Amino acid sequence: MKRLRIEPHHPLQGRLQPPGDKSISHRALLLAAIADGDSVITNFLPSRDCLATLACVRDLGVHITVHDHATLTVHGRGLHGLRSSTGPLDCVRSGTTMRLLAGLLSGQAFSTILTGEEQLLRRPMERVAGPLRRLGAKIETSDGHAPLSIHAGELQGGNLPLSVPSAQVKSALLLAGLYASSPVSVHQSAPTRDHTERMLAWMGADITIDVDRATVNPTNCLSPLSIGIPGDISAAAFPIVGAAIVPGSEVILTGVGINATRTGIVDVLQEMGAQIDISHEHMEGNEPVGQIRVSASALRGVRIGGETVVRMIDELPLLAVAATQAEGRTEVCDAAELRVKETDRIATVVAELRKLGARIEEKPDGLVVEGPTALTGGTVDSHGDHRLAMALAIAGLVAEKEVVVHNISCIGDSFPDFISQMKSIGASYD
């Protein structure tokens, strides 16, 4: 579908099970590929980004049996069992695929080229290539971007600070560390998502994890996984914000990953006055999971920056939508990383929400929203960015008239069932 038409003012009500977490799905595939034996992955996210990782892993000689779209068996080949692909690996539009593979493939006995679609070729890759070189990787970028050429090589250990708060870069270094001759220690000054560390520990890798540092020691073997992927809080965030802002709404989301490195959106919405509670907390695959209940209430503006921004980096376009409905000023700073996502998300979210009458202003490292605003109807565009497409689809729920979002096929990059799930709780999407 090329465009989505949204009829406003329908309260959201009911229960949802959000799809499997995108970040954890990528990691489960990559780590299962190098485990000693067969891993079973359930609730895998069959989105375009994760399917790009799946295809790359197959190209590296790993056999994967797909039982249904969300259940897979990955026949792991052990740490040294990957094979050279016949051609360049296509990461499509997935930054996580490319950056994590860059780390995993830096210590192999064969060379690889990583490439992808134009949107991905625009994104910065020196942030991962530079630190990998410090471990001895022979990796070339094309003027700081993909395609990446990774040559066969041997890696040594090292102590590396993260120069940008990126879990993708951290994970690349930890994956490379599995192949290094001595420990690789990554120091971070902000709490980026820690799914790689948790999964490595669960598979028996020799890894130590502190708040600001993870150290992986050379490893001989990883145990296979048997993992149910927790629901993706970044996907759940869309119905959560929808239910928080559409009067009369009440939604329950089950089986949602509530890892503290990802729950910034819940904390900030609560600070804004949203009625959200978390229950049924338990662990699944070394990740905390729970049920989230949210109902509509009056919101007030909030000021966020620092660690909170890192813990909700993918939810900031959506927060801007919530802020248009909140009383007073919302200010986001320390979020310059948004400029190097699938689009420059500061520029695109500001441009598109303004078309709906939002009072929103761009800052070099964030944005400012004045609310509340009765959004007008109108036509907006996703710029090919899945998170912007869905954030605009949520904005349409509270507009005065119909909103049409163009260019929505990108939603499949992370949440293929977004439209049907939203319709199942009452959204009028067509």
Enumerate binding residues for ligand S3P (CB under 6 A).
Answer: 23, 96, 166-168, 171, 193, 313-314, 337
Give the residue with the Cβ less far from ligand S3P, 10 or 195.
Answer: 195
d(CA 126, CA 103): 12
Q: Minimum distance from CB of 96 to ligand S3P (Å)?
A: 4
Residue 45, classed as helix, strand or coil, is coil
* Options 21, 59, 194, 314, the catalytic residue: 314
The pair of structure tokens assigned to 68 is 């249904």
Q: Minimum distance from CB of 277 to ligand S3P (Å)?
A: 26
Contact 428, 13 (CB under 8 A): no
Amino acid code (one letter) for 76:
G
Sequence-ordered alpha helix ranges (H) in 229-339: 233-245, 264-271, 306-310, 316-324
Q: Kindly list the strands in the beta sheet with 13-16, ordered across the sheet, starting from the edge strand earlier in the chain.
A: 13-16, 250-257, 287-295, 275-284
Give the residue with the Cβ less far from ligand S3P, 10 or 341.
Answer: 341
Residue 207 main-chain phi, psi, to 5 deg:
-135, 140
Rg of the chain taking only CA atoms, in angstroms: 21
d(CA 352, CA 177): 42
d(CA 239, CA 214): 33
Q: Minimum distance from CB of 376 to ligand S3P (Å)?
A: 30
The pair of structure tokens assigned to 72 is 């897979």
Q: DSSP state, 336?
A: G
The pair of structure tokens assigned to 191 is 């709490």
Alpha-carbon 139 to chain mean position: 25
Q: Minimum distance from CB of 387 to ligand S3P (Å)?
A: 8
Contact 216, 205 (CB under 8 A): yes
Helix, strand, coil in percent for the chain, rounding step 5: 35, 30, 35
10 Å Cβ neighbour count for 143? Answer: 6
Give the residue with the Cβ less far from ligand S3P, 165 or 239.
Answer: 165
d(CA 263, CA 366): 19
Give the residue with the Cβ less far from ligand S3P, 173 or 326.
Answer: 173
Q: Minimum distance from CB of 314 to ligand S3P (Å)?
A: 5
Q: Minimum distance from CB of 170 to ligand S3P (Å)?
A: 7
Give the residue with the Cβ less far from ligand S3P, 120 or 425.
Answer: 120
Give the residue with the Cβ less far from ligand S3P, 168 or 291.
Answer: 168
Give the residue with the Cβ less far from ligand S3P, 314 or 370.
Answer: 314
372 prior amide bond cis, ω within 30? yes
Alpha-carbon 411 to chain mean position: 13
Q: In the annotation, is 314 catalytic?
A: yes
Q: Minimum distance from CB of 87 to ligand S3P (Å)?
A: 25
Residue 300 main-chain phi, psi, to 5 deg:
-125, 160
What are the residue numbers of the active site? 314
